[in-house]
């Protein structure tokens, strides 16, 4: 039956056995809900009739639900400032905040991601240098080497200091992220 009782959106209604309705609802839960699954199935059927073939299934994603939040203009402005400061969209900022508070799992903001990436590059570079210095020290034990062991040992000690500094920077970036998202009042 075709009914046009909800605004400008057509509404289709039909009857199903209870068992079929329950099974369909369970299947639809993983596809964004009953309406979303029905719209996709109808779209696929129309595409097949038009000779477009079966539509490729969308990439697997979590089923989501829409939540509406009403804010006054001043709150929207503050929200936009916070999101812009992290290079995020308004919705991404809100979902990240909720994810952090609900699951203690939030991605790093852009600035901290850059700091973590820089620390990783520094640690990688230091690791390569440390590997070279270790090889040089191992070669120095050979009689014909002529390598200055004290100089190489000092290089290894300086690498240790650089590693400690890089790890401190990495830790600060991570703690900064946690402090930001855990902040109860601003």
Predicted pLDDT of residue 80: 93
Predicted pLDDT of residue 18: 83
Predicted pLDDT of residue 102: 76
Predicted pLDDT of residue 166: 78
- Global confidence as pTM: 0.37
Which residues are paired to 3 by β-bridges? Answer: 11
Predicted pLDDT of residue 176: 62
Predicted pLDDT of residue 124: 81
Which residues are paired to 87 by β-bridges? Answer: none
| Maximum Cα–Cα distance across the chain | 95
Predicted pLDDT of residue 70: 93
Token pair in block for residue 155: 């290089």
Predicted pLDDT of residue 1: 44
List, for the chain, all residue ranges whose pLDDT scores fall below the cut of 50.
1-2, 5, 56, 59-60, 186
Predicted pLDDT of residue 143: 62
């Amino acid at each position: 039956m075709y009914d046009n009782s909800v605004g400008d959106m057509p509404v289709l209604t039909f009857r199903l056995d209870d068992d079929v309705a329950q099974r369909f609802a369970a299947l639809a839960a993983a596809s964004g809900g009953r309406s979303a699954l029905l719209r996709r199935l109808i779209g696929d059927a129309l595409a097949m009739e038009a000779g477009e073939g079966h539509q490729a299934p969308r990439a697997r994603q979590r089923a989501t639900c829409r939540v509406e939040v009403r804010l006054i203009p001043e709150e929207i402005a503050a929200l936009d400032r916070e999101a812009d400061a992290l290079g995020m969209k308004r919705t991404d900022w809100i979902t990240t905040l909720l994810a952090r508070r609900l699951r203690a799992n939030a991605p790093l903001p852009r600035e901290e991601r850059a700091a973590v990436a820089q620390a990783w590059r520094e640690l990688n570079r230091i690791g390569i240098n440390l590997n070279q210095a270790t090889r040089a020290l191992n070669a120095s034990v050979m009689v014909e080497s002529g390598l200055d062991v004290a100089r190489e040992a000092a290089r290894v000690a300086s690498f240790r200091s650089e590693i400690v500094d890089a790890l401190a920077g990495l830790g600060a970036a991570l703690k900064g992220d946690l402090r930001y998202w855990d902040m109860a009042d601003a």
